Every structure is written in structure tokens, then in C-alpha cells.
Structure 1
Amino acid sequence: MSVVDRAGHIVNDLVGSVLPAGARRHRPQTMTIARPRSEVERFWRDPESLSRVLGEFGEVRPNHPGGVEWVLDPDSEDPVVWRSDLVVESASIRFFGPGDDGSAPVTISFADAPGDLGTEVKIEFTGPVPEIMSRAMAFKALYRARALMQTGEIPTIRHNPSARESAR
């Protein structure tokens, strides 16, 4: 079983029961980032930036020229590792693993936002991830990336008293 299949099974175990079986054609998630397109494209190609966006859920590290390794749930005894190649195109980047059928499990597209408002970034997942999870993951990644690029930090309530566990 491939790593992508294994990750899909893990996600399906969590939320798959809510979704009907069938098509894996996912609608993309789009967000505008108020930064120049060249800067935004560079950000999404950088493994360190991607690791910051994933936060505690995973890390991304270079594993060979033109490729990265995604480690999901890195603190567990059995993290999910997906090795992917990065293909840079004129208006998008695609991450796909060995044996993929040519359709990339992760595609990130870039376009100039109307009115010189920055860059529209669109993320689309294909493959074994249920749409409800792929849209949520894409939104979170876009939200965190936008915050990091526009303010230099990712919002958190971790140090806020309301985020602390109550004493029992």
C-alpha cells in the first residue's frame, strides 16, 4: 500500500463515514494573498515555509533535487511519509508521488488578483482524501500562509487563557 493510500485510509477512518463513497473530484479552495505573485510562488516552493504552514500537523523537507518529503503527524510512532516530486509550471506547482497517474495529488495555482490586490492562490487536492477534509486542509493552509506572508506570524490562541484546559 502506497503512502498516499495509507494516508487516505487514515483520513477516511476519521471522516469517511460522513461522506458518500464515489468520486474524488474535489473543488479547489481559493484565497487572495496581498503579496506579489513572484514572492507567493517562491513561498509555496520552499519546504521550510510549508512546514511553518503545517505547524504541529506535519513538516516538509527536501529529499532530493526537485522533490520534497511530507511527514504528517511527525511526533507519532508511525508518521505518514509521502515523498513527492515538485513540478513548477508557468502558473502553478504540482506535487505528485512515484506511481501517480499524472494527476497531482496537490496542485497550487497562482493568478494576479484583480485591482492589483496581490495574488490569488488556489489549492486542489485529488486522490484518496475526502472532499470535506481536503477543503478544510486547503483553507487552513491558505489562511495560515496568508497570515504568515502578510503579518510575519501565524495566529494562535495557544497562549491565550481561554485556550488553557480548565483544572478539574
Structure 2
Amino acid sequence: MDVTHKARGVLASAREAAGRVLPGRAAEKNPLDPSRPGPHGVSQTLTIARPPQEVLTACRDPRVLSRLLGDLGRVETGEGDRITFVLSSEGEEMSVDTRAVEREDGVEFRRLADPVAGDGDAEVARPEDDTEGGPTGAAGESALLAVRVLPAPRDLGSEVRFELDLPAGAVAFTLLYRLRALLQTGEIPTLRPQPAAREEDR
């Protein structure tokens, strides 16, 4: 299954869907704005045959998160505890500044409050998103990505749940699929053509 292709397609087509999903934003030039919360959260759960602590350690590492995103984007560290998700869609890049917040059962990457227009030093508090779709934290913050890790039944490893506040369910599955492959095999699968050792006679 080409989950990367499917995820890219969903993320790219989300611009059109966002006009219906995000009320009042259809007229904007870029309705898919991952820096702002909305009632469009998705979640996926997968069993990974690794201990919960190992899974959590991987999910906290920006380098691992960048590998999971692949051609969908990257994750960068900034000053202090700032972690920036740079998401790619149709040749455009959209940045979301977050901070990692530890939870008893996982970690959340919560959006930082937006600067007030015309005042780069002040920040505006964003009301909590109390919809079912978006995981939330303190007032003015909502989680772009929330990771929940619990022991799987019958000692099968970990039950890992990704909650992603974007109208793109396939992306959440892609990240989990790649995380499982990376932790269980040490590699992330790819369908890109590989150089052949010999020429075909065809």
C-alpha cells in the first residue's frame, strides 16, 4: 500500500475540503492553516512490538519525527523548548511552532499562541478548543500532534495512538506506519525506485 502517495494526496486536497470543514474560512487564500486549531482532528492507533518507553523516546526526538514525515515535511528545534513542524503541500511550506508537553501516557506538541498583528512581542490567548476533533491543553494552546502510548494486551508491545489536528487522516496513519517500521526493523519502507545491479534485457 502506497501510504505516502495517499497521505500526500489527502494533504494536498485538504485545501478544498478545509473550506467545508472550517466554517468561515473558505474565502481565505490558504484555508489549510495548520498553525490554527479547528474541529478537524483525526486519530489512528497501531500496535508496535516495542516497549512503551522506547516508543515515547522516539516520539520526543525531532530527528525521528522528521524521518517519519519524510517528504511531507520536517521538524526543527528552535530557541528554548520551541519545536517547529514544517509541513509541505503543493510546493508550499506551512510552519507550526509548538512546544512539547509531557503527559503521564505520552507527549503533546502544543501550538504556541499567535503574535498579535503589528506587535511582535505580544501574544494573543486562543480559547480552548473543546470540540471532539482537537486535543487541547492550556488556554491559548491546542495540540497539533498528541501521542498516547500504553502497554498492549498480552505483552504485545505498545498501543500507540496519534491524534493529529489536521483534516488529513492518512497522514496520521502514515506517521504511525513509519514509526512501527522504524522501531521494529530499523528502516522506513520506501517505494522509490532503487538502482538495479544489472541491466534488464527488456
TM-score category, normalised to shorter length: 0.7 to 0.9
Contact 2:84 2:98 in 1 (8 A): yes
> Equivalent residue for 2:159?
120
Contact 1:59 1:74 in 2 (8 A): no
* Code of the aligned partner of 2:178: R
Q: Normalized against structure 2, the TM-score is what?
A: 0.63
> Equivalent residue for 2:193?
159
> Equivalent residue for 1:148?
182
Output the CA distance in 2 between the equivalents of 1:20 and 1:89: 29
Partner SS for 1:149: helix
Contact 1:66 1:87 in 2 (8 A): no
1:67 aligns with 2:71: no
Q: Which segments of 5 or more consecutive residues in structure 1 lack a partner in the other structure?
A: 1-9, 162-168
Divergent runs of 4+, >4 A: 19-23
> Equivalent residue for 1:164?
none
Output the CA distance in 1 between the equivalents of 2:21 and 2:88: 26
Output the CA distance in 2 between the equivalents of 1:87 and 1:49: 17
1:39 aligns with 2:54: yes
Aligned-residue identity in percent: 36
Contact 1:37 1:112 in 2 (8 A): yes
Q: Which has the higher helix share?
A: 1
Deviation at 1:24, TM superposition (A): 1.5
* Code of the aligned partner of 1:54: L
* Code of the aligned partner of 1:111: L
Output the CA distance in 1 between the equivalents of 2:56 and 2:153: 17
Output the CA distance in 2 between the equivalents of 1:44 and 1:15: 29
Change over 3 Å in CA distance of 1:81–1:25 after alignment to 2: closer
Aligned length: 146
Q: Which segments of 5 or more consecutive residues in structure 2 lack a partner in the other structure?
A: 1-11, 24-37, 114-125, 127-139, 196-202
> Equivalent residue for 1:104?
143
Change over 3 Å in CA distance of 1:16–1:109 after alignment to 2: same
Q: Normalized against structure 1, the TM-score is what?
A: 0.75
Measured on the aligned residues, the alpha-carbon RMSD in Å equals 2.8
Output the CA distance in 1 between the equivalents of 2:39 and 2:193: 38
Look at both structures and tell me which one has the larger radius of gyration over its CA atoms: 2
* Code of the aligned partner of 1:36: P
